Chain A
Amino acid sequence: MRRRVLAAGVATLLLISACSEGGRAEPQQATGYTIAFVTHETPGDTFWNIVRSGAQQAAEDVDVQVRFSNDPDATRQAVLIQQAVDAKVQGIATTLVTPDALAGSVRAATAAGIPVVGLNAGIERYRDLGALMYFGSDETVAGTSVGERIAASGAKHPLCVIHQAGSVALEARCAGVKSAVPGTENLQVNGADDAAVTSTLQAKLAQDRTIDYVVTLGAPIALDAIQAGSTAKIATFDLNKETADRIKDGKIEFAIDQQPYAQGYMAVTSLYLYLKNGNDLGGGKAVLTGPSFVDKSNIDTILPYVEKNTR
């Protein structure tokens, strides 16, 4: 008997709470849009941390909700995009590092009327997949400009260090370097283990003493190259606090920055502008966020931003 009374009480409460329309609206749902931000980030990469800070800042600035998710595995990233479609978000920003694996989910999103913006990777394919805009750097262009710059300083036989096996983007950077300096050689290392990277570099530098430049594709790897006692000059893709300090004291010649903060920030803001005002940035072309060079001449300006995790 007592239980029945209790059940009736609960039911009444539920009824009352169900007809509370017209009261104060939940602030999170009332203002702004919800945007899904999907990447192929491997957890623990300093680079993605900066992309996220950019996206987060944009979310605050234009007052939208951003839902982050990431998976380095292509098929699982496709599922994450599908999940965003199922959750009926208003916009999706995603990296397109493995366009073929993601094509199905991206099409599902556009079919459901959800605008998709590409960032960071996938510059050649983003339009085919139906993404509206793209913010990132062209890896081959970036590689080529590094190659031209080190060639100008006399490099004949640079070493391009790939720290993640089978990554299209990293291979493209090295291909770009090679297009400017034909003597470029690639080296594969295990980016998850600094000691292994260092000794592999040591071995390579001992095996081939004609190497005159080491180009690393991630900031932590450049620091390992210093540890390996490289007498060849060092240049690196991407920045972090320690590499910025090493650029300042001359151990690293320069870093090439694709401005990940801008990638995250612009992906979110562009979706906001599209949703709010129908804007389309880039004039049908990808918007390039890089390459931007960081060297001794401008490091003092940039160092404070690096310390704040935004460059």
Chain B
Amino acid sequence: MTRRPEIGALAAAGVIFVFFLAVAPAFRSLESFFTVLYQSSTIGIVAVGVGMLMIGGEFDLSAGVLVTSAGLVNSMFCWYLGVDLWAGAALSLLFCLAVGFLNGWLVMRTGIPSFLITLGTFFILQGANLGVTKLVTGAVASPDVSAIDGFHSLGLIFSSSFEVGPVTVWGTVLWWILFVLISGWILQRTRGGNWIHAVGGAADSARAAGVPVVRTKIGLFLAVSFLAWFVGMHNLYRFNTLQAGGGVGNEFLYIIAAVVGGTLLTGGFGNATGIAIGAFLFGMTSLGIVYAGWDPNWFRAFLGVMLLAAVMVNLYLRRVFR
């Protein structure tokens, strides 16, 4: 088996990049490239966690709405009680980690597939986001937090941007790269990385070989929820207010990024570079269509074709290199 799961995605990214360079004049600028990177990073950060989890053989469908939950917990807690946003951010982190732990613990404890467990938490969070927001604020969007203490310092961490020449670089892009590097290091260079591959490939033999399966998998769920929290913080501090119904549907984008990047749906195979390229492909296609001046209604159709093509190329490559 090839050790390079990202080859297919890399080739596709190259082809699509050249394609948009050719057809979309507005795509040919550094500013556009960094807008694409920003778009990719908002999906890519969570995709890092979701991809690692998939290598470990599990799914998380709750990650998309958890992003919104994270921001809502922070904003409503601080707005309602009038406390510093840092306290809310910490509480929100605890909340997200608790959700991640619950996902992992339920999956390991009951043996029910993570697809079902996290589908459950997905619906619970989606309903709770709306219900609690309505109870606390009387509306279905979170209150504006930009006047509460701590907004600027937290904004510096989660939603700052800086200018390099004509280009606006968003902090999330740098964070994304950092998370990809850490994930790559864990997966390739550490014992934990071996464990992740082992529990995803064959959990029973991994357990027999002494790999702490439960701890590894719960750790992966915690990683997903941490990254979801991170993006939730970005959304809150960039947009000041959040719609309680937001984030639905993004869980699939994370999974698509991972799969397009060569992660095996059944676990045990994939790497951080591939997942990052998968997210980049998503960002590039979604905006490339707009840069080309086409009707973005077609975007989902493109996404589906890309997903199918990537999966088939990956399958082909695996057969060839076996």
- A residues touching B (Cβ–Cβ < 8 Å)? 42-46, 48-49, 165, 186-190, 192-196, 199-200, 202-204, 206-208, 220, 223-224, 227, 240-242, 245, 309
Residues of chain B lying within 8 A (CB to CB) of residue A203:
26, 32, 35-36, 287, 290-291
A196 & B286 in contact (Cβ 8 Å cutoff)? yes
A interface footprint on B270-304 (CB within 8 Å = 1, 0 otherwise): 00000000000001001100111101110100000
Residues of chain B lying within 8 A (CB to CB) of residue A207:
24, 26, 290-293
A44 & B246 in contact (Cβ 8 Å cutoff)? yes
Cβ-neighbour of A45 out of B35, B36, B240, B245 (below 8 A): B245
Residues of chain A lying within 8 A (CB to CB) of residue B26:
203, 206-208
239-263 of chain B: CB within 8 A of chain A: 239-250
Which applies to chain A's interface (DSSP): helix, strand, loop or mixed? Answer: helix
Q: Bound state CA distance, A165 and B300, in angstroms?
A: 11
B264 shortest CB reach to chain A, Å: 27
A206 & B244 in contact (Cβ 8 Å cutoff)? no
Residues of chain B lying within 8 A (CB to CB) of residue A227:
238-239
- B residues touching A (Cβ–Cβ < 8 Å)? 24, 26, 29, 31-32, 35-36, 38-39, 42, 126-127, 129-130, 133-134, 138-141, 144, 234-235, 238-250, 283, 286-287, 290-293, 295-297, 299
Task: List the A residue with the shortest CB-CB distance to B39.
Answer: A199
Q: Bound state CA distance, A193 and B138, in angstroms?
A: 22
A-B contacts, CB under 8 A, total: 116
A228 shortest CB reach to chain B, Å: 9
Residues of chain B lying within 8 A (CB to CB) of residue A208:
26, 293
Knowing A42-B245, A187-B290, A188-B296, say if A241 contacts B144 (CB, 8 Å).
yes
A192 & B247 in contact (Cβ 8 Å cutoff)? yes
Residues of chain B lying within 8 A (CB to CB) of residue A46:
139-141, 243
B35 shortest CB reach to chain A, Å: 5
Cβ-neighbour of B245 out of A192, A202, A223, A241 (below 8 A): A192
Residues of chain A lying within 8 A (CB to CB) of residue B126:
43
B318 shortest CB reach to chain A, Å: 32
Q: Can you pick out 5 interface pairs between chain A and chain B where the beta carbons lie within 8 Å of each other?
A: A46-B141, A193-B42, A199-B36, A206-B31, A227-B239
